[in-house]
Chain A
C-alpha cells in the first residue's frame, strides 16, 4: 500500500509542477476517472457484494452460517483445490521452464516447430481442453488404448484419469506452454556471450540452465507462477468436465450451489475461500509491479 501511495503523491506533485492553475489541479483525477470508475463498478463493487453476500442469509446479515455449511459440505473439495493448484503450478513451471530453455538453447528446426505448436495451445479455451481430455483420458480412451496396445495396460482394468491425474494433465497441457511463453521473452534477451563464456570454461547445458538462465529470469518465473496458480483455482470448465463427483474443485461446487439450490450465500462463501487463496498471490503481484513502476527492477 505504501509504495502505491508514494506513487500517487509523486504523480500529483509532478502534475502540480507542470500545470499551475485552478482547474488543472483536478486534471490527474479527471484523467484517472474513467479507468477508476470501470474498476470500481465492474470489480470492486461485485467483490464487496459477494463478500457481504457470504455473511448474509436472507434478510438476516452477519452470520457465519454460510461458512459453516460450506465447510461441512465442501471441506474435501477446498483441500482438493489447494492441492491441485499447488501441484498444477509446480508441474507447469517445471515443464514450462524445460520447454522454454529447450527453445532458447536449441537452434534446430524442431525447436522452431515446438515453439510454434506450444504457442498455439495458449489460444485454446479450457472447454476445448476439457473436451479433448474427456475422450483422450477416458477408461477406453485414446491414451489407455495406446497403452493397452503396447501391453502396459489391461483394458478391463484401465488407468483411471477422471480424478486428480486427469486434472493435473489437463492443467499441465495448457499452462506449461503459457509459462514457457511468458519466460521465453526474458530468456531471449539474455546475451549469448554469457552462455558462450560459461561453455568455454566447461559448463554443460544443465549447468547453463540451472546457474545462468533460471536465476536471470527468476522474476518472470515468479510472475508466471502467480498467474498459473490463479488460473487453476478459478477454472471451472476443466474440473466440471473431468471430475464432477467428490472430491472436485470449488468452482464446480459454486456452480452447483447456484444451479440447483439458487443458494448464493454458500456460493459466495466458497468464492471468498478462493479469494483468500488468491490474495497472497495478488499482493505479491501488486508489490512486484508497483516496485517495477517506481524503482524499475
Chain B
C-alpha cells in the first residue's frame, strides 16, 4: 500500500517536471488555401523554422480552400475583436486578397508590420500595395504569387490560341474539347470568366485597379454574358480546379484554364501528362498572391514577424516556394534566382516568360466588381 503511494507520488512529480521544463513558444499559424497549404506549413515550413529557432513550435490550423477559408479566419479575428479579448489566439495567418477588403473595411484587425521586416526591401510586387483596389501596404507580405493560364495538349492543339478571340474560334471548331469549372467549383474557372469580362469590355484598369465602382456598368454586361452563355454550349464544364486538370490528363478535354502551380505540381507527382503546356492568351488572365498577416493583438508578435521574415527570405522563397511548390515567388524574382536550381527556374518560366507575366498576369477585379461579375454569370449564363 505504502509503496503504491510512493509510486503515485513519483509519477506525479515526473509529470510535473516534464510540464515545468523549458517552455516552448507555440506559434499559432492559421492558413487558408488548398490542402497543400497545410502540408507546406506542417511538413516543410514548421520543421525548418523550428530547426533555426528550437524554442518555437509552429502549430498550424487549416481553414480550407477558396474565399471560404479566408472567411473563417476573418470571422475568427472579428469575433476576438468583438469579444474584447486583450490577447488573441492567432499569431500569424495566411489569407487571400479578398480577405484584405473585408479586414480593412472592418478595421482594427491587423497589425501594420511589414516595413519592420528585413525582407521588406525585396518586395516589389504591386500586390503588396493594393489588394483588389484596397490599400494594404505594410499590412501584408506576399508569400507567393499564383497565376491562372490555359493548359493545352500539343498532341491535339499544335498551335494554341494566343488570345481570347482565337480561343473562341478554336472552341467553336472543337466542341466539348475546351473545359473549365464554371464559377462554383474553384477559382480557375472564376479567373477565366473575369478574364472574359476584361477582354470584352477592355476596362481592366477600371475594374481591377482604379475603380470607382459604378453599379450602372453592370447592366451593360448583359450581351457579354449572353455571348459567354453561347460559348458555354461548346464547352465541357468540369468538376472543380482539379476536375479540369484530371480531364486534361485523361484526354477528355484538350484545353482548359488551370492554376500554374497546381499544374506543375501535378506534373511533378506524375498526375499530369508531361507533354501538356501552358499559354497566357491576350489580354491576360488573373492571378493572385497569398498574404501573411499578423493580427493586431497576437500573443507572439515578435515571433510572428520572425516567421514571416523567414518564409519571405530569398533562400526559403527559392528552395521552397519555387523549387518545391512551383509558385511564383512573393518577393522579386531576381533575388531568388541564386537559390533555385536552373531546371526549376526554367520550368517555371518556360511557357510563360517573366515579360509575359508582367503584361498579361492580371489582378482579379475589385471586390464589388468581382461579386457583380459572379452574379452576372449566375443571372445571365446559368440562371433562370
Residues of A within 8 A of B (CB): 72-76, 134-135, 138-141, 158, 162, 240-246, 248, 252-253, 255-256, 258-262
Question: A258-B68, A260-B374, A261-B374 are contacts. A246–B239 as well, Cβ < 8 Å?
Answer: no
Check if B9 is an interface residue, CB within 8 A of chain A: no
List, in ascending order, chain A residues with CB within 8 A of B184's CB.
244-245, 248, 252-253, 256
Give the size range of B's interface with the partner: 20 to 34
Residue-wise interface mask of B (351-362) relative to A, using a CB-CB cutoff of 8 A (1 in contact, 0 not): 000000000000
The complex places the Cα of A75 from the Cα of B240 at a distance, in Å, of 23
Residue-wise interface mask of B (236-277) relative to A, using a CB-CB cutoff of 8 A (1 in contact, 0 not): 111110010011001110000000000000000000000000
Which partner residue on chain B sits nearest A158 by CB separation?
B252
**The one of A140, A253, A256 that contacts B252, using a Cβ cutoff of 8 Å:** A140
Which partner residue on chain A sits nearest B102 by CB separation?
A262
Question: A73-B378, A139-B252 are contacts. A259–B239 as well, Cβ < 8 Å?
Answer: no
Check if B161 is an interface residue, CB within 8 A of chain A: no
Q: 5 nearest interchain CB pairs? A: A244-B185, A246-B382, A245-B182, A140-B250, A259-B68
Contact B68 A76 (CB under 8 A): no
Chain B nearest CB, measured from A24 CB (Å): 41
The complex places the Cα of A171 from the Cα of B219 at a distance, in Å, of 40
Chain A nearest CB, measured from B246 CB (Å): 7
Chain B nearest CB, measured from A70 CB (Å): 11
Question: A73-B378, A140-B252, A162-B239 are contacts. A246–B71 as well, Cβ < 8 Å?
Answer: no
Chain A nearest CB, measured from B33 CB (Å): 14
List, in ascending order, chain A residues with CB within 8 A of B382's CB.
76, 245-246
List, in ascending order, chain A residues with CB within 8 A of B236's CB.
139
List, in ascending order, chain B residues with CB within 8 A of A72's CB.
379, 383-384
Check if B313 is an interface residue, CB within 8 A of chain A: no
Which partner residue on chain A sits nearest B232 by CB separation?
A245
Chain A nearest CB, measured from B102 CB (Å): 7
The complex places the Cα of A261 from the Cα of B376 at a distance, in Å, of 13
The complex places the Cα of A158 from the Cα of B253 at a distance, in Å, of 12
List, in ascending order, chain A residues with CB within 8 A of B383's CB.
72-74, 76, 246
Which partner residue on chain B sits nearest A242 by CB separation?
B239
**16 A-B pairs in the complex with CB atoms less than 8 angstroms apart:** A74-B383, A134-B243, A138-B247, A140-B251, A158-B252, A241-B240, A243-B239, A244-B181, A244-B237, A244-B239, A246-B383, A255-B68, A259-B66, A259-B67, A259-B68, A262-B102
Check if B218 is an interface residue, CB within 8 A of chain A: no
**Which among B66, B181, B184, B382 has the greatest number of chain A C-beta atoms within 10 A?**
B184
